[in-house]
C-alpha cells in the first residue's frame, strides 16, 4: 500500500512538471486549452509603428496644369502633418522589420515601439506601393526577438492562426481564427498585389503590418486589409503571404531600394467552365495565353498564343495575378519551371525571370524652347516603359513621360502614347519634334490613353 502511494505521489509530481513546462503546444488537445505559449513566444517580435507624414498644404489647384501658375506665389502655405499608426514584424535579430507600405511608405519620421516599451528610430530600406510592403531597419537594433518565416505555400485552409497587432491604437492585441481561403485575388492588377491568404481572425484598423502566425509561432503572412462595408472586421481579413515577404527581405539585404518583379511579357485569361468545354478540357484549370511580347522570356522558352500555363514551380496557377505572384516568389534571376499544356500534351519548360528589357532603347528626349511644347519629355515605348506606365502589351509609339509647361494645357498627360500626327504614324521622337518646330499650323495628335484612342487638335 505504501508503495502504491509513493507511485501516486510521483505521478502527481510528474504531471505538475508537464503542466508548468513552457513550450509550444504540440497537439490539438493542448491547443484547445490555451494559445498562451504561442503568444508568449511570438508577441515580442510584433511591434507598434508610429509614422509621421508631412504633406504640402496645397489645394488641388496647385497640381492643375492651368491654374497652378496663378497660385505659384500665393502666400506661404503651411504643410499638413499626418500621423500613421500601424504594426510591424521583426524578422532578424539585427532589427529588420516588415510592415505595410501604406503605414510607413511616405513617412519622414518613424518610431518603432517593442512590446517591452523599448523604442527605436527606423528607416525604410525598400518600399513597394503596389504590393503594400515595406522593409525597415531599426537604428541600433541588436539581439532582438524575431519571427521565423514559414513556407506559406504549405499553408492549408482550416489551419488555426493568430493575428497579432495594434488595432485602433489600444495596444498589442491577439485574435484567433482559421485560414479561410488561399490565393484570394481582389485586384485586376498584373502585379503580385491581389494574391492573399484569407482569415477570419479579427483584423481591424491598426493591425496593418502585423503578424499572421501559425500554431508553432511562425510567420505565414502580413495582415494588410479587410473587406468590410462598415470599416470594422466582418471576418474577412487578408494577409500578404510570407513567401513574398521573404523575397522583399532578400532584395533589401542586397541593397535594392525598389522591389523588382520578374517581367512576364504575356497576357492571359482564367479558364472557366465554358472555355474549358470549348478547349476540350475535363476540368477548368490554368491560364490561357492570349498575347506574347516579342521580348518575353516565355516566348524564348517556346510558349505561344493559345498555350495554357497550369503550374509555376509545380504549384497551380489559375489566374494571371496568381502566375505573377509565383514569378515574384521565384525571384529575379532564377529560372522557374513552367508547365505548359498544348494540344493535350503537358510539358515542363524553364523560363528565365528577367527585368523588363529596355529594348529597343527608349531614348528619352526633352523638347527645347525652340519647339511649341518646351519641356515635353518623350521616349520610345518598349517593355521597360510598358511595365512602368502599365501600358497594353501591344503598345508602340512615343510615350509622354512629362508634359512640361504647356503640354498639360493642350490636353496631354503623362502615360499617353502618341500614335501619329495628322494621320501619319509617328515612330521616332525626331518625327514628333520635326512637326513641332513649324509654327502657325493646325496639328492633330492621335494617342492612346487608358486603352482608348483619342485625338487632340491644336494650333502651334
- The pLDDT assigned to 31 comes to 58
Residue carrying the nine cell digits 511616405: 106
- The pLDDT assigned to 32 comes to 57
| pLDDT, tens digit (0-9, with 9 covering 90-100), for 232-288 | 666 688 999 999 999 999 999 999 888 999 999 999 999 999 999 998 888 999 999
Of 37, 175, 180, 208, which residue is the catalytic one? 208
> Quick check: 216 and 151 in contact, CB under 8 A?
no
By mean pLDDT, which of 17-21, 25-29, 445-449 is the weakest? 17-21
CB atoms within 10 A of CB 268: 21
**Is the model's pTM score more than 0.85?**
no
- Asked whether the predicted pLDDT for residue 134 surpasses 50, the reply is yes
- The Cα 312–Cα 317 span in angstroms is 7
- The Cα 410–Cα 327 span in angstroms is 41
Grid cell locating 243: 513567401
Q: Is 132 a catalytic residue?
A: yes
- The Cα 195–Cα 184 span in angstroms is 5
- The pLDDT assigned to 2 comes to 44
Q: Percentages helix, strand, coil for the chain, rounded to the nearest 5?
A: 25, 35, 45
- The Cα 4–Cα 295 span in angstroms is 81
Q: Is 208 a catalytic residue?
A: yes
| pLDDT, tens digit (0-9, with 9 covering 90-100), for 65-117 | 444 554 455 454 555 545 667 899 999 999 999 999 988 888 888 999 998 88
Q: What is the DSSP letter of 62?
A: G
Q: Is the bond preceding 401 in cis, omega lying within 30 degrees of 0?
A: no
Of 37, 128, 131, 132, which residue is the catalytic one? 132
CB atoms within 10 A of CB 256: 15
Q: What is the four-CA torsion angle of 422, 423, 427, 431, rounded to 10 degrees? A: -20
Of 50, 102, 293, 311, which residue is the catalytic one? 102
- The pLDDT assigned to 83 comes to 64
Q: Is 348 a catalytic residue?
A: no
- Long-range CB pairs of 70-78 (<8 Å, 24+ gap) are none
- Please provide the DSSP assignment of 25-46 as one string: --SHHHHHH-SHHHHHHHGGGE
Amino acid at each position: 500500500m505504501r508503495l502504491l502511494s509513493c507511485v501516486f505521489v510521483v505521478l502527481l509530481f510528474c504531471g505538475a512538471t508537464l503542466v508548468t513546462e513552457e513550450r509550444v503546444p504540440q497537439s490539438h488537445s493542448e491547443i484547445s486549452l490555451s494559445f498562451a505559449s504561442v503568444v508568449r513566444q511570438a508577441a515580442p517580435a510584433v511591434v507598434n509603428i508610429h509614422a509621421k507624414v508631412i504633406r504640402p498644404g496645397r489645394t488641388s489647384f496647385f497640381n492643375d496644369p492651368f491654374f497652378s501658375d496663378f497660385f505659384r506665389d500665393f502666400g506661404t502655405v503651411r504643410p499638413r502633418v499626418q500621423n500613421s499608426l500601424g504594426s510591424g514584424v521583426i524578422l532578424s535579430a539585427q532589427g529588420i522589420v516588415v510592415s505595410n507600405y501604406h503605414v510607413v511608405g511616405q513617412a519622414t519620421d518613424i518610431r518603432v515601439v517593442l512590446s517591452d516599451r523599448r523604442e527605436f528610430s527606423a528607416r525604410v530600406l525598400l518600399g513597394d506601393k503596389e504590393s503594400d510592403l515595406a522593409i525597415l531597419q531599426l537604428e541600433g537594433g541588436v539581439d532582438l526577438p524575431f519571427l521565423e518565416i514559414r513556407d506559406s505555400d504549405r499553408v492549408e485552409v482550416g489551419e488555426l492562426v493568430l493575428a497579432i497587432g495594434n488595432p485602433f491604437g489600444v495596444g498589442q492585441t491577439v485574435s484567433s481564427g482559421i485560414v479561410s481561403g488561399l490565393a484570394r485575388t481582389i485586384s485586376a492588377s498584373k502585379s503580385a498585389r491581389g494574391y492573399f491568404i484569407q482569415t477570419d481572425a479579427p483584423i481591424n484598423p491598426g493591425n496593418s503590418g502585423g503578424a499572421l502566425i501559425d500554431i508553432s509561432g511562425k510567420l505565414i503572412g502580413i495582415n494588410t486589409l479587410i473587406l468590410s462595408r462598415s470599416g470594422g472586421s466582418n471576418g474577412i481579413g487578408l494577409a500578404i503571404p510570407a513567401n513574398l515577404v521573404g523575397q522583399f527581405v532578400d532584395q533589401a539585404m542586397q541593397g535594392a531600394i525598389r522591389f523588382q518583379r520578374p517581367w512576364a511579357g504575356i497576357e492571359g485569361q482564367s479558364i472557366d467552365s465554358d472555355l474549358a468545354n470549348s478547349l476540350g478540357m475535363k476540368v477548368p484549370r490554368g491560364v490561357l495565353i492570349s498575347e506574347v511580347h516579342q521580348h518575353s522570356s516565355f516566348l524564348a522558352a517556346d510558349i505561344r498564343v493559345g498555350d495554357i500555363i497550369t503550374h509555376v514551380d509545380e504549384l497551380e496557377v489559375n489566374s494571371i495575378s496568381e502566375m505573377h505572384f509565383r514569378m515574384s516568389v521565384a525571384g529575379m534571376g532564377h529560372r522557374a519551371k513552367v508547365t505548359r499544356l498544348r494540344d493535350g500534351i503537358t510539358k515542363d519548360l524553364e523560363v528565365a525571370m528577367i527585368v523588363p528589357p529596355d529594348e529597343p532603347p527608349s531614348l528619352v528626349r526633352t523638347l527645347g524652347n525652340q519647339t511649341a511644347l518646351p519641356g515635353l519629355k518623350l521616349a520610345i515605348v518598349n517593355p521597360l516603359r510598358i511595365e512602368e506606365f502599365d501600358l497594353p502589351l501591344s503598345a508602340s509609339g512615343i510615350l509622354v513621360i512629362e508634359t512640361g509647361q504647356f503640354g498639360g494645357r493642350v490636353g496631354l498627360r503623362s502615360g499617353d502614347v502618341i500614335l501619329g500626327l495628322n494621320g501619319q504614324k509617328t515612330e521616332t521622337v525626331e518625327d514628333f519634334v520635326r512637326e513641332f518646330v513649324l509654327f502657325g499650323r493646325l496639328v492633330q495628335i492621335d494617342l492612346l490613353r487608358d486603352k482608348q484612342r483619342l485625338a487632340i487638335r491644336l494650333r502651334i
